[in-house]
Amino acid sequence: MSKKEEKGFFSSLGDSLSSLKLTIALLIILAVASIFGTVIPQNASPEEYLRVYKFSTYKILKILGFLDMYHTGWFVFLLALLSLNLIVCSLKRFRITWRFFSPEVRLSDRQWENLSPCQKFSQKGLPAQCFSQCREALSGVFSLPKIVEVSGAYHLLAEKGRFSRLGVYFIHFSVLLILAGALIGSFYGFRGNVNIVEGQAADQVVLRSGQQARFPGFSVQLEKFSVSFYPTGAPKEFKSILTIMEKGRKILTEPILVNHPLTHKGITFYQSSYGVAGVAKAILAVKDRQSGKEISIAAQMGNRTEVQGSSSFFFLDRFLPDLQGMGPALQIIFSEPNRPQQNFWVFQNHPEFEDQRPGRYRLTIKEIEPRYYSGLQVTKDPGVGVVWAGCLIMITGFTMTFFMSHRRIWVRLTEKEGGTLVAIAGSSDRDRTGFEEEFEKIAQALRETQRAQEDYKEREGRS
Amino acid sequence: MISTKMFSSVTFLYLACTVLYFNFLAFRSEQLGKVATALSWATLLIHTAAILWRWVESYQLGMGHAPLSNMYESLVFFSWCIALLYLLWERKMKSRIIGAFAMPFAFLFIAYASLAPGVSDRIDPLIPALQSNWLHAHVITCFLSYASFALSCGVSIMYLLKIRKKEKGKKETGWISLFPPLESLDALVYKTIAVGFPLLTIGIITGAAWANYAWGSYWSWDPKETWSLITWFVYAIFLHARFAREWRGKRTAVLSVIGFAAVIFTYFGVNYVLSGLHSYA
């Protein structure tokens, strides 16, 4: 390959990277791909996919990366290409925008012709005399005008909102910042879940990838979980009271709720799910059918519980907070002399079921308290701050771009037959109607100050 | 509930406003136009009162949350945003021409709230995920942006109707001749998007901030999030095509209609067709 061709290749590559056609094409491709991503379930299990798709379709979708599309190579590549395009386009455009920051005060006749709105009128007095009032009239509403004097003619330029030209760069930069934040999060962050039973602690979390991550120098203990419901049955509040422990010392205890996570050392804990792990406390009434005596026995999950004054004993095997819609139920393994071991359910709300069961003892649940576990989502994302900074800059950029305008007014004072020919013209990059009203006011003010000046001089002359 | 009855009557009033604005176009009667405007403001006032009253009712029921929490309430609020933005525009521009293409949206969405099966008008207590102050900022900015896009779509339809007539070489007759000139319509398509786009951006950002508290991630490619981004892309294309490639008129009007279709899918489609975390509205 010759050197010339090489340059041609790179400059044409540069051209296509800086082209807006590429931006629009990328945005369209990303939008269409995203549609696929919402239609095809993401990160589901193979069984779930095979329920919907044929095996061959599933294979193809998997190979093309459509099953975890937003993290797949080509999608990330498209985002990277968009970022590159954004950078190149912005740099290219910035050269043009930068000209607004060293503006021409003295315009050519040709430039004057192209400006609108534009007004011309003559005033008494030489340009040098008109000049200071003119400067005051402009600086009242606009910045202090820049002035150039060329052989007796004065050129003034007053501006307002010049920095709004930079809004678009703020927006483009913020997009890059947000993507950078996302990148930081994906490299240095993690996301996982941990279930903690009341009274127990965890010091690591299982990540989505299947790996494990340790909390840096602390563990989290679940003191208590509680759930409450509205009368309609809809959930009202899920609450886990967490204690952060460092080297066996309690550092802090705080409740977490949905919408109210807890962050410690860069790791955030979210209330995500809950369930029943067993029984915290169970008190059973055991009635001896022969003697008619009833005693209360506190039982623990898994432990052998003796029935006092007999050689019978039982185990609590399983607890369900709601067995087939019949309320809380305990599965019990009961053993009494001269009988085969029995395995049965006892319902808290249906003690009458026990009447059907043969055996010496009749068991009912007097009191039962479930032991909950709380499912916590554990997230570390050091990129979040960068993303929020990007969002703030983006909003600033939008405010500059859409709600502010760069307004300029040029005034030229040239001598004409012993008086001054005043030419005033303006331009605004948006909100023309608003600008035209403002321009009209300023033009009016220019005429009026001059007129007032004349009246004053006339009066002076007369007296 | 009184508020629900008020919303039903508001629905019929918006229908009346729509009919009046159409008649204003058809008969070119300034008088009719004035009546349409007056009735619209009155309807908006009742609509506002009904929203506030529903808020009071939620307190009476012991819940006390802003009426922005389910499909019904969001539809009612969407309709309110459209009517408000349109009437503000009408005041600013001193022209009633686009009323006939804006008020139907206000009517349709509130009518859908009352009539559609599966849209419950009950006031429900807030589930844990919705118990957040981000709710207000998120819902208000999103629906103001949607409303602005609805207006843009209405104006785009006017533009497309007018240009079709022109392209066919027919002389402009009837009510289409009353439409503002193509350039003004084109400018208005842009202006409404220039308001809607930043609002949509803030809506997405507040949503992300909220998601970071409630779902543990500011962005999880949930269908609602993804579709809001698709919508954002469409309007981003609109702005770039208009600014940098100097697309005007027909092509940008079509883009604005596509954009609003994306808005509608983000709003309804995601809930009815796809499933995800964002199942409230």
Question: What's the pLDDT tens digit per position in A262-303?
Answer: 999 999 999 999 998 888 888 999 988 888 888 899 988 878
Closest CA to B222 of B208, B237, B205, B232: B208
B/e letters for A15-45, b = 16+ CB within 10 Å, e = fewer, are eebbbeebbbebbebbbebbbebbeeebeee
* Phi (first) and psi of residue B144, to 5 degrees: -65, -40
pLDDT tens digits, one per residue of A235-270: 899 999 999 999 989 999 999 999 999 999 999 999
pLDDT range class, residue A2, cuts 50, 70, 90: very low
- Tens digit of pLDDT for each residue in A40-83? 888 888 888 998 899 999 999 999 998 888 889 999 999 999 99
Sign of CA dihedral B159, B163, B165, B166: positive
Rg (CA), chain B: 19
Where does the pLDDT of residue A4 fall: very low under 50, low under 70, confident under 90, or very high at 90 and above?
A: very low
Cα separation, A419 vs A379, in Å, equals 76
What Å distances lie between residue A374 and A273, A274, A400, B130, CA to CA?
Answer: 6, 4, 47, 20
> Of A170, A93, A456, which Cα lies nearest the Cα of B245?
A93
pLDDT digits (tens, 9 = 90+) for B59-93: 998 888 999 999 999 999 999 999 999 999 999 88
The two counts, helices (H) then strands (E), for chain B are 9, 0
- Please identify which residue in the block is written with the tokens 């605004």: A428
Q: Which residues of A touch B216 (CB under 8 A)?
A: 191, 261, 268, 270, 272, 377, 379
- As given in the structure block, the two tokens for residue A230 are 């509205």
Nearest CB to B233; choose among A21, A27, A388: A27
Please identify among residues 22-61 of chain A the ones whose CB lies closer than 8 Å to any CB of chain B: 23-24, 27-28, 30-31, 34-35, 37-39, 42
Å between A453 CA and nearest CA of chain B: 37
Pairing type for strands A294-299 and A304-306 reads: unpaired
Which residues of chain A have a CB within 8 Å of the CB of B217? Answer: 191, 379, 381
- Is the per-residue pLDDT at A375 higher than 60? yes
- The verdict on a CB contact (< 8 Å) between A236 and B230 is no
Residue of B nearest to A71 (CA): B221
Please give the share of chain A, as a percent, with pLDDT higher than 90: 44
3 state SS of A216:
coil
Q: What is the pTM of this model?
A: 0.87
Closest to B132 (Cα-Cα) out of A319, A257, A14, A31: A257
At A431, the pLDDT band (50, 70, 90 cuts) reads: confident
Q: Which residues pair with A207 in a beta bridge?
A: A192
Residues 132-191 of B with CB under 8 A from A: 132
Q: Which chain B residues touch A27 with a CB distance below 8 Å?
A: 233, 236-237, 240
pLDDT at residue B25 above 70?
Answer: yes
Nearest to A230 among B125, B129, B240 (CB): B125
Between CA A5 and CA A458 the distance in angstroms is 76
Cα–Cα dist B145/A205, whole Å: 40
- The residue-averaged pLDDT of A385-401 equals 96
d(CA B71, CA B122) in angstroms, rounded, equals 10
Q: Would you say A222 and A201 are in contact if contact means Cβ atoms under 8 Å apart?
A: yes
Q: Hey, are the CB atoms on A272 and B216 less than 8 Å from each other?
A: yes
Minimal Cβ distance to B127: which of A235, A268, A399: A235
pLDDT tens for each residue of A173-182: 999 999 999 9
| pLDDT over 60 at B133, yes or no | yes
A275 SS3 class = strand
The interface predicted TM-score (ipTM) is 0.92
Please judge whether A24 and B127 are an interchain contact, meaning their C-beta atoms are less than 8 angstroms apart: no
* pLDDT for the residue numbered A453: 59
Identity of the amino acid at A241: I
What's the token pair of residue A188?
A: 């240095």
Strand A204-207 relative to strand A419-428, pairing: unpaired
pLDDT of residue A200: 93
CA distance A287 to A361: 5
Task: Give B123's DSSP letter.
Answer: -
Contacts by A18-22 with C-beta closer than 8 Å and gap 24+?
A: A18/A85, A18/A88, A18/A89, A18/A91, A18/A92, A19/A89, A20/A89, A20/B240, A20/B244, A20/B245, A21/B245, A22/A81, A22/A85
Phi, psi of A206 (to 5 degrees): -90, 125
| Closest C-alpha among B125, B139, B128 to residue B57 | B125
B128 touches chain A (CB under 8 A): yes
Tell how far CA A373 is from the center of its chain: 29
Angle in degrees, CA A33, A34, A38, rounded to 5: 120
Of A28, A234, A260, the CB nearest to B125: A234
Calculated CA dihedral for residues B90, B91, B94, B97, nearest 10 degrees = 10
Lowest mean pLDDT among A14-18, B144-148, B196-200: A14-18
Q: What is the mean pLDDT of chain B?
A: 91
Contacts of A21 in chain B (CB under 8 A): 245
pLDDT tens string B152-203: 999 999 999 999 888 887 776 677 777 888 888 998 999 999 999 999 999 9
User: Does the beta carbon of A402 lie under 8 angstroms from any beta carbon of chain B?
Assistant: yes
Given a cut of 90, whether residue A164 has pLDDT beyond it is yes
